[in-house]
Structure 1
Amino acid sequence: MTDRTSYEAVSPLDGRYARYTEPLTAYVGERALMRTRVEVEVEYLIALADLDVTPLAIDEQQRAHLRALYESFDAEDAEVVKQLETTGYGEYEATNHDVKAVEYFIRDGLPAGLDCAEWIHFGLTSEDVNNLAYRLLVGPAVTEVLVPSLREARDALAAMAQEYRDLPMLARTHGQPATPTTFGKEMAVYASRLGQQLGRIEAAAGSLSGKLAGASGTYAAHDVAYPNVDWRSFSRAFVDGLGLDHEPLTTQVNPCDDLAELFDALRGANNVLLDLDVDMWLYVSDRYLGQEAVEGETGSSTMPHKVNPIDFENSEGNLSKANADLGFLGEYLTRSRLQRDLSDSTVKRNIGAAFGHCLIGYEKLQTGLSKVVPNEQVMAEDLESTPEILGEAVQTILRREGHTDAYERVKTLTRGEDVTLADFQELFGTLDVPAEVREELQALTPAEYTGVGASMVDDIDG
């Protein structure tokens, strides 16, 4: 094996960004896959011993010894498995087959007195082991690493929403000044959307399915050896016992529709955060948000004054890459030529890369959120300088009072024009409305025209 420093890594996930992706290595690294394959093989061997028809007997001490093969699986064990596959190890020549290498690893580690090498991997195809192992890793990678990071982002947004629920801010639709909102309400929108997507992700991660049905999904090898065993029930019990849903009808390959659903759910959350990244970037650009300068940090190699929104930009880039990978995985893994082809094997090894870009995107977003502070003065000045946004309020009140030409009159005054509050006051003076209505109109200000935006913060889902 070639030893590389992080500076020589082919991928930035294991180089520049290794400190961010470290939490995923226990779930998506090669060693993790080896360990979990050992787990599936060992538990299957023990399940075979529990069948009355097999001559296989494994006592409690031997079971503990077998389970220790995966429970204490370490870097040295991983090196042994890799040698079994690539160069040979001990009495074994190189298998050039990763699952067969795991089988030989277990053979070599059998406890004294347990002669059962022929029962390891009995009746199985590699896909029986791999589809289970991947799901035993993918599920926790999502629930134990990605979901907590997403929930931290959601909680940060919810906290910002509460803190700035009453802060008025000019909205923009089509990039143009529009009916004011509050900064807190806008953050609440993202917190709520992200909470909903988290529900989708957790549901998908909790519904991963596994198969154990042999080379063509027919239990043929099992059935020919022991035709009186209900192998479908055995398979269901075994897969359920691993904490997965049983997939009863498959080819050699688990169709991966469950993984595609999970990847799509992750893409849904990522799309919410991509939308947020861009909006936060624009708020910084408009000076609605200020950024805390980090001591010693350089914003530009030539412009010393700059504090760039690099965390939102980094998050945007990584989440875009993650979504491209997740979309590819979901599309590719749900297809297989006839009953099996091997192209999915190398593709599945990229699940970790997709998750890595997700995690970097989530962490960078949180860093960006922690640095920004609303610039209340700029927001107030922007509101004061765009009184034309009151046109909606004025024409709506006039409609209420029965003025059929309300929209047209306000449109003539405001559309494409530089309007002042004095212009509105002049319009109000010409209106045939009761005094209390004129007072109502005269009291309108952009900063107070935010509807029930502040109270909507309490509607955050998730």
Structure 2
Amino acid sequence: MDVSSGLSGHLGVRVTCSASPLAQGPEEMQRYRSPLVSRYASREMAFNFSDSKKFHTWRQLWLFLAQAQRSLGLPITEEQIQEMETNLENIDFKMAAEEEKRLRHDVMAHVHTFAHCCPRAAPIIHLGATSCYVGDNTDLIVLRDGFDIILPKLARVISRLADFAERYVDLPTLGFTHYQPAQLTTVGKRACLWLQDLCMDLHNVERARNELRFRGVKGTTGTQASFLQLFDGDHDKVEELDRMVTTMAGFKRAYIITGQTYSRKVDVEVLSVLASLGATVHKICTDIRLLANLKELEEPFEKEQIGSSAMPYKRNPMRSERCCSLARHLMTLIMNPLQTASVQWFERTLDDSANRRVSLAEAFLTADIVLSTLQNISEGLVVYPKDCHERIRVLSQQAAVVVKQEGGDNDLINRIRSDSYFAPIHTQLDQLLDPKSFVGRAPQQVMKFLKEEAIPLLTPYQSKMDVKIELDL
């Protein structure tokens, strides 16, 4: 059986290939599917970037535009408005796909499809607008809604790690600099290093979300000329139209200046905070992986989970490894909007379109996944206090000669107890050797940080805190 690959060469030759004998079974298994959606992402984030949401939002924006234009005096009837409202959900996706194939224009394909089920409203759908009225404004709505999905998830991770830090506020553990044994710290203090970065991310994501504006009603090159013509040169009505539609879409402000599109610097700002979050998650999960090797701390390990097909004793930190893997992808995505913003010619070029379909969606999907996974990790972290203390004992600098050069056990404490020179302090040794006496102000720092910085950030998200993450994979 021959199947078309759908590829066209430079000479217009249609390329065909024979189907693989493996290409059998359900149709969806014969095509590449992004693992971000098929394997990892939450249903809510996958829907946020779905065609269904996009095209329903387009229709809602056309309705907003018509309602505002009618209220400002354009000859649009209530019957036309009602017809549009009635058919917001009535999308013939097959017809839209056929129209796009014919017209080579996705927005006009959906204008025709909407008009087909709204014959009375057909003349006023998309009146005075350009494609970016629905395209860019929908993107901004989706970005805003994407942030609204991410923010409570980030807050829950902070909440879980704050509980963890408080639980182990004064448990001594060996600190490391350069991944070499250093002064003692506490498990809680180390967790606060993670928390501080996450708190910075929460601030940044909130800022990026709140600074998003609507593109609004700006016309083909951003001059609003078509709308000025519709309102017979009335500048006030054009400004009011812009304001009304912006409010209807749930935004407080619109960008005053746009070209045909909103500035692609906005995408840079959006993906910058997500890439920065990726760096934070990567650092946290790398620490967890290293601590797992030191037998101090482990991520959750399911009862029937297999660490290795050949080594049944292994307990691989696979969730942390997944976070690192996906966070690495998230960090690289910032290069797409940076390069796109740098090559937007004058009022716009279309070489941003295909790129943005991939980079914006993947950034939010990836951020969503790593936060859900990190929440699952932080809800089930296991600390091994005896191993923490053993690291302190084994790596005592004073006994390094015995351990490193003679291959013997660390017997420093026994040597002190048996040496008459130390007789005056033999009764105080247990107190003197208590690791808690070497952690400085770590416990006090942890409690101050949690009280003054971490916990107050969670106040807006209290109603969304009681969500537990279970991972299928």
TM exceeds 0.5? Answer: yes
Displacement after TM superposition at 1:330 (Å): 4.6
Deviation, structure 1 residue 6: 5.3
Does the C-alpha gap of structure 1 residues 136 and 292 become closer, same or farther in structure 2, counting only changes over 3 Å?
closer
Instruction: Indicate if the aligned counterparts of 1:13 and 1:21 stay in contact, CA closer than 8 A.
Output: no
| Alignment partner of 2:182 out of 173, 178, 187 | 178
Gaps of 5+ in 2: 1-5, 7-25, 400-404, 458-473
Q: Give the structure 1 partner of residue 195 of structure 2.
A: 191
- Secondary structure, counterpart of 1:177 in structure 2: strand
Secondary structure at 1:106 match in 2: helix
Equivalent position of 2:243 in the other structure: 236
1:134 CA drift (Å): 0.8
The alpha-carbon deviation at position 335 of structure 1 amounts to 4.3
1:10-64 Cα distance to aligned partner (Å, 9 max, x none):
32223333xx342212210122111111111121111111122x222225xx534
Structure 2 residue 212 is the aligned partner of structure 1 residue 208: yes
- Are residue 354 (structure 1) and residue 363 (structure 2) matched? yes
Tell whether the 8 Å contact from 1:132 to 1:210 is kept in structure 2 after alignment.
yes
Contact 2:271–2:333, Cα closer than 8 Å, also in 1: no
Matched, 1:15 2:38: yes
Q: Which residue of 1 aligns with 2:222?
A: 217
| Aligned-partner Cα distance in 1 for 2:398–2:338 | 45
Please, which runs of 5 or more residues in structure 1 have no aligned partner? Answer: 87-93, 391-415
Q: Which moved more, 1:349-358 or 1:288-297?
A: 288-297
Asked if residue 66 in structure 1 is aligned to residue 76 in structure 2, the reply is: no
Equivalent residue in structure 2 for 1:227, among 233, 242, 248: 233
* Matching residue of 2:172: 168
| Counterpart for residue 310 of structure 2 | 302
Structure 2 residue 66 is matched with structure 1 residue 48: no
Q: Over residues 259-317 of structure 1, what are the superposed CA-to-partner deviations in whole Å (9 max), with x where a residue is unaligned?
A: 32222112222211111011000000111114554233221121111110010000111
Q: Report 1:257-272 matches (<5 A).
A: 257-272=265-280
Quote the Cα distance in structure 2 between the aligned partners of 1:199 and 1:358.
16
Cα deviation, residue 377, structure 1: 0.8
Contact 2:219 2:226 in 1 (8 A): yes
Give me the whole-angstrom Cα distance separating, in 2, the residues matched to 1:451 and 1:80.
Answer: 70
Deviates further, 231-240 or 150-159: 231-240
Identical positions, percent: 22
Match of 1:154?
158
For the Cα contact (< 8 Å) 1:251–1:339, is it kept in 2?
yes
Q: Would the aligned equivalents of 2:298 and 2:382 in 1 still touch at CA under 8 Å?
A: yes
Residue 77 in structure 1 maps to residue 95 in structure 2: no
Q: Which amino acid aligns with 1:358?
A: A
Counterpart-to-counterpart distance in 1, 2:214 and 2:300: 48
Match of 2:45 in 1: 24
Q: 1:290 to 1:129 in 2, by over 3 A?
A: closer
Corresponding pairs, count: 416
Matches of 1:6 and 1:157, distance apart in 2:
39
Question: What TM-score comes out, normalization by structure 2 length?
Answer: 0.78
In structure 2, the residue matched to 1:5 is 28
Cα deviation, 1:52-92, whole Å, max 9, x if unaligned, reads 2x222225xx534423433x35xx63334323322xxxxxx
Give the 3-state SS of the residue equivalent to 2:181 in structure 1: strand
Name segments (4+ residues, structure 1) moved above 4 Å. Answer: 416-426
CA distance in 2, matches of 1:55, 1:191: 57
Q: Which whole-Å CA distance do the structure 2 matches of 1:357 and 1:233 have between them?
A: 38
Match of residue 136, structure 1, among 141, 150, 158 = 141
Check conservation: 2:96, 2:113, Cα contact below 8 A: yes
Contact 1:6 1:16 in 2 (8 A): no
Query: 1:361-399: CA deviations, max 9, x gaps?
Result: 222223333443111111111112344499xxxxxxxxx
1:124 aligns with one of 114, 126, 129: 129
> What residue identity is the alignment partner of 1:263?
L
Structure 1 position 323, deviation (Å): 1.8
Counterpart CA distance in 1 for 2:62 and 2:48 is: 18
| Distance in 1, Cα, partners of 2:28 & 2:167 | 44
1:58 maps to amino acid: E
* Aligned pairs (5 A) from 1:343-422: 343-350=351-358, 351-388=360-397, 420=412
1:332 is displaced (CA, Å) by: 1.9
Distance in 2 between residues matched to 1:151 and 1:329, nearest whole Å:
26
Tell me if structure 2 keeps the 8 A contact 1:291–1:373: yes
Q: Secondary structure at the match of 2:304?
A: coil
Give the AA of the match of 1:14.
V
Q: Partners of 1:425 and 1:331 in 2: how far apart?
A: 67
- Residue 222 to residue 63, structure 1, CA distance change in 2 (3 Å): closer
Distance, in Å, in 2 between the alignment partners of 1:454 and 1:389 is: 26
Q: CA deviation at 1:101?
A: 1.6
SS of the equivalent of 1:454 reads: helix
Aligned equivalents of 1:345 and 1:228: distance in 2? 33
Show the counterpart of 1:287. Answer: 295
Q: Residues 346-370 of structure 1, C-alpha deviation per residue, up to 9 Å, x if partnerless? A: 1221121222222222222233334
Structure 1 residue 445, shift from structure 2 partner: 4.5
